[in-house]
Every structure is written in C-alpha cells, then in structure tokens.
Chain A
Amino acid sequence: MLLEVKNLHANVAGKEVLRGINFEVRPGEVHAIMGPNGSGKSTFASVLAGNPKFEVTEGEVLYDGVDLLSLPIEERARQGLFLGFQYPVEIPGVSMASFMKAAVAERRKALGLEPLSSAEFLKLVREKSKIVELDGKLVSRSVNEGFSGGEKKKNEIFQMAMLEPRLAVLDETDSGLDIDALRIVATGVQRLRSPQNATIVITHYQRLLDYIIPDFVHVLYKGQIIYSGDKSLALKLEREGYDWLIGSQQ
C-alpha cells in the first residue's frame, strides 16, 4: 500500500473540515476525488502535504508504511509526495531555475542519487518542459510571477515532471486551462504514470478524466468520503450532480 488514510479528522480556524476520511492508494493507481465546493478536497490535499494551517485532530496516515503526519513538509516532498497547488504561489525574485535546482537536488539526495551538473540540469529542464509544452522562457522567470492562470498550472506539472514523485496530488490542475492546455497537461500527467507511482486528481470535471483514466472515483462531502465507484461515477456526477448522493446522506 502506498497511502493509507485512517479516520482522518482536521480543523482549520477552529472548524472541523475533515471528519473521518478513510482512503487507500496502491502503486500504479489513479484516484479521482470530486465533490462540491467547500467539501474539504483542498484541505485533504493540504493535510497530506503538511500545510501548517490545518490541525490534524484524529486519525493516521501511512505513506509507504511510514507515519506521514510526523514528517516535516519538506521530508514528505523529498520522499516523493507532490502537491500540485490549486493556487500556485508567486515568489518574486526567485527564479524558477534556482528553485527547481534546489528542489531536484533534495529529491535526488533522498533517492541516494548524485547531484546533477549544471548541464545535466538544463537538459532535464528542456526535456521536462517539453512534456507540458511549457514556454522555455518561463523557466528563467520568477516562480509563477506574472504567469497566466494556465501557465501556472502547466508549471505545476512541469515541476512534477522534474521531481518524479511517487504520489502526486493534483488539486484542480484542470481548472483555468483552455481545451488545448487541458489536453497537454493531462497527457503530460498520463505520460508520467508508472506502475510504481500513483496519482490523486482532484477535479470538478469529467473531461480531465477522459485523458487521465481513474481507477477509482470518490465523492468527498462535508469532510467525508461518502461514495466511491469507478470512472462511470464521474460521468453520472456530471450528468446528475451531487443531489442524489447528498440526499441519501441526510
């Protein structure tokens, strides 16, 4: 098992937003998490990543058998947990290149690999930016600063490609993308799939799942996974909305 989430509860600003999540991911799997606005999807992703804004009050998360919640944010990342942010952060003055160079170095260190030379790093940048058709010029700019909404999302996938995570959590990477960009990003993600790694995609739209075929689709509602199914569930949700599920909840 790559990820085991057991009865996870978390608070933000004194309010309980995750109310007992149970969830399992095996290597090679793709899970989609859907659910109405405010149901706790980003919170779940943030708690996995270790965002200090959220306080875990109960439950357990095992990542590759290790107690994930006891690891600092950067250690989780170095061990291969990647979060594609719903709202990527702009960092003025910090170039993408120097940021990624440091990030790749840490990831490689954790994997017991030698650091890359400058030439090797540049080669990797070129190779990976091609996957998401990211304009090479963006890599020489400050992190996300002045990037368009779509460019920011592509940049998240570019970073994912650079870091080759074992578990990627992509929080609404599809929103704000035009149809071409969506295809590019989604096929990019698809190309990075392997039997060893796994992906959790958080999305509102079934169309992303045309490219990234999920093994499971889950519905998160009021901080709990209230329903799970296969990819046909996404289609049903798109047609019928959440009412039929929520109704049965109440």
Chain B
Amino acid sequence: MSELQKIFKQTALGERPTGVEWFDAVRHQAVLRWGEMELPDTKTEEYRRFDLKGVMSGVTCRAEGDCSQFEPLDMEGEQVRTVNGRVVDTEYSILSKTQISEFDSLTGNVASAVLNMALAEDAVVVCVARGESRKVVLDSRFAGEKGALAVSRVLVVVEEGASLELSDVCRTEGEVIALRCREIIVGRGANVKIADIVENPEGTVIDHRYTSQAEDSTTRALFGDVSHGASRTNIVTLLNGAHAEAVCDGVYVATHGTRDVCLDVQHLIGECQSSELIKGIASERGRGSFAGRIYVAQDSQKTDASLLNRNIVLGTEAKIYTKPTLEIYADDVKCSHGATVGQLDPEAVYYMRQRGLSKQAAERLQLLGFAAEVVERFGGQAAERIAAAVEQKLQTL
C-alpha cells in the first residue's frame, strides 16, 4: 500500500476526526465519492504535462514542517495565515463555523479536488457580507521534507453587491507537495479581485481554483508563478448569471520542472463576458504547458469570450506546449482563441544594446515587458509583488 493510500485510509476510517461534525461529514462524503476514482497521469489526461498520479505516488507522509521561518507578508489587508493547510488565525477557520452549504459545492468529480476534500483537516473561510468591501491577504505557507503532503482548502463567499480584494501568497520550504483547493462564490453584482502568487523555491504545488459567478458580478484574476518546483494550476470559472464578467490572466516563468496551466471558462448562460491572457516564459530545462478551454453551453447567446496564450521560449532545451480550444453550443456568440510561441525579438535586443544596455539587460527588459501587459492590467499591490517576483526571477536567467 502506498503512503498516500495509508493517509487516505486514515481519514476514510475516521481516524483523524476534526471534531467538527458537519465538516467531518462533508469529508466523509468526499471519501465515498472518491470510491474507485484514480488520479490521472499524463497518458490518461488529455494535453497535460504534469503527472498528477506520479507526483502523488511520491507522497511519504503528511507535512508537519514548521513555518515560523517565513517572513510576514508586507501587504495591506486582513492577514490570514495557514500552515500546511491549518488555519493559524482561527477566527477564519471553518472549524469555528456552523455548517456552510456552499462548502465543497463546486469541484464536482475532479479526482484531485475530491482527494483534497477527502484529506482536508481544516479550511479558510472568508465570507464578505452583503454590501461589504474587504481586502484579505492569504499567507499560505507550506513546509516539509521531500514527499510530505499538505492539504489546504479555502472557501470564499462574496455576497450580493459586496466586494473583495484577495491576495493569496503561496510559499513553500523544502520539497513539500501542496495540494490546494479554493472555491470562490461570487454573488449577484459582487466584485472580486483575486491575485495568486506562487513564490515557492522548490515545492510542488497542485492548485485548484473554482469560481462561480452570479449575474452582474465581475471578477478579475491574475496568477504569477515564479517557483523553481513543479506546479499544476487548475482554474475553472463558471459563469452562472447573465452579464457576469470574468478576466483571468496569468504569467509564469519556468526554469526547472513543469508549469501546467489548465484553464476552463464555462459560459453556462448567455450575455456574459470573459477574457483570459496567459503568458509563459520557459528557459533552461523549464517546461510550460497550457490547456485552455472556453465552453459555451447550449443557447448561451451573446457570449463574448477570448482566450489567448502567449509564450516565449529561451534556449534550446526549454519547451512550451499550448492548446487553447473553443467548445461552443450557441450560434450568436463572439469567441476567439489563440496561442503564440516565440522567442526574444533580436531587433529589439540590438536596439537596446545600441543604447548601451548589455545583451543580458536588454533580454531581461524585453521579458519583463512581455510579462508587464498582464501585470499592468491587474494593478495594485499584488501586481507589484508579482512584477517584482518576475523581475527577481529573470535576474537569475
């Protein structure tokens, strides 16, 4: 029996109860749902480069690493710290709440997300009440030896007309495996800005972000991933109410390991807008992979959606794979998708060198410029942090 199976058995047998009955019941449901499920590998999953099954079979134990060595985040907003999935600021812990019906309502039967629920021992809850406006910083810390598994879960509910600016900074220490799942439920007319920043030096991050939007709501999201380890980012946006708008951008720099970005935007009703722009930079032995889909359900007329993935590959060993797709079951829609994989523009490098910049400085500036587009369209403190992280990472190229 693999270690992961052992850990799973423990929860299945109720050996590690949280003591909060309703939470344990939700978890037990996930254990049952898991049933005969299996994690996909790169063969069974279409167009994915990150081997979920392989990575998870390397799990040796639960992560128990100490996270006191992390610097506090110098960002404005309510700070919510988690350590290997455990909520430090307990007023935000789900274990301090009465039953929340929205919890575990979005992930469906995605094996890695179900596994996350089955193994979760805590969760962050941020609930922004009607008309309220809040700024929250999630300080998500993970630490553990090679193969240690940390399971973290977040539920965000933004009620009607409320607004939230959420920055989630994920940092790891050691070769820990962070299995994350976040559900963001956006009420009618609500407004949400979500920034995900992955700054881990060497851990592996498997992230799920599910967002569900009611009518007239808007979300604007940006992820920035500059980690050295491997990562898998699953982003699902469900547009459930008319006139909902979603912007979902991202940028990553891969120098080692694989960045695997899976994006799924579902227009489940008409008259919604979505726009996604993902930018990838791969160098050295980095791998980037993008699988994106815009799905327009039956009769979701007047959908306006665009999906674009742009990449720069440096050197001869780095690789980027990309596959944006459209799946449309309505006829009156405006949808576009595209992908580019290019290199640095030698003319631009020459031009900058002619003004005195070194080749390296010219290349970095160009790469930074490439990333700047998505960062600037997001703006604010999280964007600045992402820009700084990208710049710092580019210094190492």
- Chain A interface (Cβ < 8 Å from any Cβ of B): 49-52, 72-74, 76-78, 82-83, 85, 88-95, 98-100, 102-103, 106-107, 110, 142-143, 159, 163
Contacts and interface: CB of A to CB of B under 8 A. Distances in A.
Given A91-B366, A93-B371, A93-B373, A74 B358 contact: yes
A103 B348 contact: no
A140 to B, nearest CB: 12
A202 B233 CA distance: 54
A107 B356 CA distance: 7
28 contacts: A49-B354, A50-B353, A73-B353, A73-B354, A74-B359, A77-B353, A77-B356, A78-B356, A85-B354, A88-B351, A89-B348, A91-B345, A91-B348, A91-B351, A92-B369, A94-B366, A94-B368, A94-B372, A95-B369, A98-B365, A99-B352, A99-B357, A99-B365, A102-B361, A103-B356, A106-B355, A110-B356, A143-B351
Contacts of B356: 74, 77-78, 102-103, 106-107, 110, 163
B280 to A, nearest CB: 15
B370 interface: yes
Contacts of A77: 353-356
Contact of A93 (B346, B350, B351, B368): B368
Given A77-B355, A99-B365, 11 more contacts: A74-B359, A92-B373, A93-B366, A94-B366, A94-B369, A95-B369, A99-B352, A99-B357, A103-B355, A143-B351, A159-B355
Which A-B residue pairs are the 6 nearest by beta carbons? A93-B369, A106-B356, A94-B369, A103-B355, A93-B372, A73-B353
A83 B353 CA distance: 11
Nearest to A81: B354
A93 B365 CA distance: 9
A106 B370 contact: no
A50 B359 CA distance: 13
A103 to B, nearest CB: 4
A93 B372 CA distance: 6
Interface of B: 345-348, 350-359, 361, 365-366, 368-373
Question: Looking at chain B's contact residues, is the secondary structure mostly helix, strand, loop, or mixed?
Answer: helix
A50 B356 CA distance: 12
A173 B348 CA distance: 19
Given A74-B357, A77-B356, A102-B357, A85 B365 contact: no
Chain B CB count within 10 A is highest, among A74, A106, A107, A143, for: A74
A99 to B, nearest CB: 7
A50 B373 CA distance: 31
Contacts of B361: 102
B365 A106 contact: no
A88 B371 CA distance: 22
A73 B346 CA distance: 13
Nearest to A159: B355
A82 B370 CA distance: 26
A166 B368 CA distance: 31
Chain A CB count within 10 A is highest, among B353, B361, B368, for: B353
A10 to B, nearest CB: 16
A77 B350 CA distance: 11
